[in-house]
Chain A
């Protein structure tokens, strides 16, 4: 069997012990190399146990858990509204997407409607978040392959997005801006101009990045034909997001199972055909352009809607405004109940899935009728996507592993939770 044949068939995902144990017993001729967790290109604390035949990767076993902080367990002891802040800490490069998935799941449990202004603001901010997250991916990916300048340019634009987040939520990264029932605060007056300024420059800046990389012979040499995966293997391994779309499967939850009114925005799902690193790059670049277009449509909608409520009027979920508390007994009771107990969704379970920058992010919540979630589980895209790394890496050079990890764009905070 040739190397390509083996690659096409072998979908196994080894655990580290499956490589280290035979090696320690001397049963193999190959060399076992440890890569990470302290390695600049493993994007956090990912450790890979790599089995090598010369410079060729025979097998790889990701070893994870170094960043495990027990977020799912901690959430069981917080009220629903307080647990929002923990979702930021999973995928720290896309906190708003995590907020969204979690609040959508709780809102599904409650069966609550939220004002349109809040929904449109959520869409706009999540798309900005997607651009910011893709910029970090682009910068670090290029940096891993020794292209320093893209990193600096990418982070320049990311700063601008983080400034917008700071404007709306007070925090640049751990935003916790989406709350169950709407938004934490109203959008500030300066928001419109800040987003407008960003949307003006961004398409030109994407052209700049593409000018640096898309036709760059060194970039092409390192990425084309490397780490290819076909659509059947990708689906079998649970790969989602740009990785899946690069294999030609037009599966994007924003389009295929819309939430937050995505079906009313006009945008395309970029796909590619080869499923290699270069195609994943092309898909993400095209996605950034689509996100700019969605942002523009959402901003126009915000202008059309004008000022209005940003939180659900249901007093069993959202606290009353301060002005009401001073002269309404009813409002004071609601305020007291919400801050001492919290709201209690009915018994049941709900799963809400969103398309995060990395793929499908789903939150599964079980409610036992109390004010705290009985069980919260995140279907974290980075965690699941990491499973396709061994399949992609087999038969390639050890130097390509660096490019491969970057192209999967894992965030270890989300992998380990």
Chain B
């Protein structure tokens, strides 16, 4: 059964009208903006609805829109194997309280995605079993994919300049 964007949106709006903020379509892909506190309800409905059946969490990532309010956006892509349809959910996250409910209860596979988003953007996912850094070293300060983090460079230590570099680089000595 082929599913079109309008049917999906209508069904979602009928079931959870207060959770949906707005929606947009670009190049045939539907994006739905969801209230952050309702993301788990929306995802659970989409997963368990007998017609929509978005059974697969395809992707989860963050985007930093510096200078905009809310500053961050968490983007979820859901796939329905039965309907062969993709749906994008977006959640705005403010800089003051960057937290979103975790989806690990619905899909254990959200675990790494959420850890990565936390690591890269500093967005916390409430209810996540262990929100550690995943790619960056534990001692790292800041969140590298934020737009206010400059694209830096790592100085390479040679014998002629290693004393100067080691003096200001905390973990180069070991």
Residues 122-158 of chain B, each 1 if its beta carbon lies under 8 Å from chain A, else 0? 0000000110111111000000110000010000000
Complex: chain B residue closest to A249, CB-CB: B81
A384 pairs with B145, CB closer than 8 A? no
A307 contacts partner chain B, Cβ-Cβ < 8 Å: no
**Residues of A contacting B129 in the complex (Cβ-Cβ under 8 angstroms):** 12, 14, 18
**Residues of B contacting A18 in the complex (Cβ-Cβ under 8 angstroms):** 129-130
The CA-CA distance from A24 to B55 in the complex, in Å, is 39
A351 pairs with B59, CB closer than 8 A? yes
The CA-CA distance from A109 to B145 in the complex, in Å, is 22
B27 contacts partner chain A, Cβ-Cβ < 8 Å: yes
B61 contacts partner chain A, Cβ-Cβ < 8 Å: yes
Q: Which of A109, A236, A362 contacts B58 (CB 8 A)?
A: A362
| A-B contact list, 11 entries, CB within 8 Å | A16-B132, A68-B136, A76-B151, A236-B109, A257-B84, A349-B75, A350-B29, A351-B59, A360-B58, A384-B112, A384-B113
B112 pairs with A383, CB closer than 8 A? yes
B63 pairs with A375, CB closer than 8 A? yes
B27 pairs with A348, CB closer than 8 A? yes
The CA-CA distance from A416 to B29 in the complex, in Å, is 28
Looking at A70, A109, A374, A417, which has the most chain B CB atoms within 10 Å of its CB? A70
The CA-CA distance from A377 to B113 in the complex, in Å, is 11
Q: Which of B58, B111, B151 contacts A73 (CB 8 A)?
A: B151
Q: Interface size on A (CB < 8 Å)?
A: 48
**Given A17-B132, A73-B144, A416-B135: A384 in contact with B109 (beta carbons within 8 A):** yes
**Residues of A contacting B111 in the complex (Cβ-Cβ under 8 angstroms):** 13, 387
Q: Interface size on B (CB < 8 Å)?
A: 39
Q: Separation in Å of the B117 CB from the closest CB of chain A? A: 10
B43 contacts partner chain A, Cβ-Cβ < 8 Å: no
The CA-CA distance from A416 to B27 in the complex, in Å, is 30
A235 pairs with B56, CB closer than 8 A? yes
**Residues of A contacting B58 in the complex (Cβ-Cβ under 8 angstroms):** 238, 353, 360, 362, 379
B145 pairs with A364, CB closer than 8 A? no
Q: Separation in Å of the A45 CB from the closest CB of chain B? A: 12
B59 pairs with A11, CB closer than 8 A? no
